[in-house]
Amino acid sequence: MDWQTSEDTVPSAPVTEADARLLRGRPPATGAWRDGDPDGERRFAAFGAFRTEGGEQLPAYRLAYETWGTLNDRRDNAVLILHALTGDSHVRGPAGSGHATAGWWEDIVGPGAAIDTDRWFVVAPNMLGGCQGSTGPASIAPDGYEWAARFPYLTVRDQVQAQVALADALGITQWGAVIGGSMGGMHALEWGIMHPDRVARLGVLAAPPVTTADQVALNSVQTEAIRMDPRFVGGEYYDAQAGDGPHRGLALARRMALLNYRSPTELNQRFQRSWQSGVSPLGHGGRFAVESYLDFHGNKFTRRFDANSYITLVEAMNSHDVGRDRGGIEDALARVTAATLVLGIDSDRLFPVEGQHRIAAGIRNTIDDTVVITSDFGHDGFLIETDAVSRQLRRLLAV
């Protein structure tokens, strides 16, 4: 559950000009990237039929992805970066034509950065089921209408298999590293288990070995907030006029999620009980500053995401259990052969560090026991604490 805050990562949350542009006008029925929109820095790879773990079928699909750096002649310098729940392929670069927001790991990926694009060829796909160029519920089905709620149920393993097809299309038989945070960390972990011979190094950041009942419960209230919006209309909202889509339910889901991404310490220190109005907090007509903060990010989110896609991806997260049909979590983790960095955040209340400790204990070739970063930012620390995260990624890529 995550980005861009997970992924609106500015700690003080000023309203930038990019934010102001994004928030102008009524929210669209969907914030999905659609065919005919500017491509921006996206590239596209098209594939044939795809069969899910559950036996459902996509007759064809595509993945949107971005790249930085140059693939060498030996094709052994490729790094796969996997985004969090509400992230996308735009790891670095400005907001602009085709990209609603700036890159979400700008300080970590680039020339001379921890993931140095002068050395590494970096690939970042938008996951299957997403809404920023890859096939998902907002995509057009063979009958000429959006898939909407008909889109197949996906698991994390399904999404990884789609990424395997992308690697094959790019001619990459082994990744120099596969790195992901939060939901992307689930994908990275599955890469290391499903295809150990194709991963030389593995970075699992702020991700669990299994989605627990508590986490499923947190997810369920978010998806229900979307479904209860009268304008969701069973997922068939794509023809709605601006302002008439399920933006209230989607914004509420985002506000709920944001509380899991940040820590009580940060929210209490940052906002205290400050009041955003001249009206007394004992009366009516105003609101607390923290409420305004949640509203801002909820409203911003509706401009760049799709409600059906949110449900699809949250349900994929709920499927995450590396031990399923593998003899349990420890037996599954024992399959990983890559040199592995497991990183957690001490204030993470979404995926607490106990999960990362279990992952590190089960993998034979970790570069350390679990690396735990101290941060007040909670789960979003893997996106915000760029200096600390960079130090650890440099260690991983030096192995």
Cα–Cα distance, 174 to 305 (Å, whole number) = 32
The catalytic residue among 348, 375, 376, 380 is: 348
Contact of 381 with 262, CB cutoff 8 Å: no
Structure tokens belonging to residue 283: 């009366």
What does residue 381 show for φ and ψ, rounded to 5 degrees? Answer: -60, -30
The catalytic residue among 182, 263, 309, 375 is: 182
From the number of C-beta atoms within 10 Å of its C-beta (0-12, 13-18, 19+), residue 269 rates as exposed
Cα–Cα distance, 138 to 323 (Å, whole number) = 32
Single-letter amino acid code for the residue at 53: E
Cα–Cα distance, 131 to 129 (Å, whole number) = 7
Cα–Cα distance, 343 to 355 (Å, whole number) = 10
Concerning whether 348 is annotated as a catalytic residue, the answer is: yes
Concerning whether 99 is annotated as a catalytic residue, the answer is: no
Concerning whether 306 is annotated as a catalytic residue, the answer is: no
Work out the number of other CB atoms within 10 angstroms of the CB of residue 278: 7
Give the catalytic positions in this structure.
Answer: 182, 348, 379
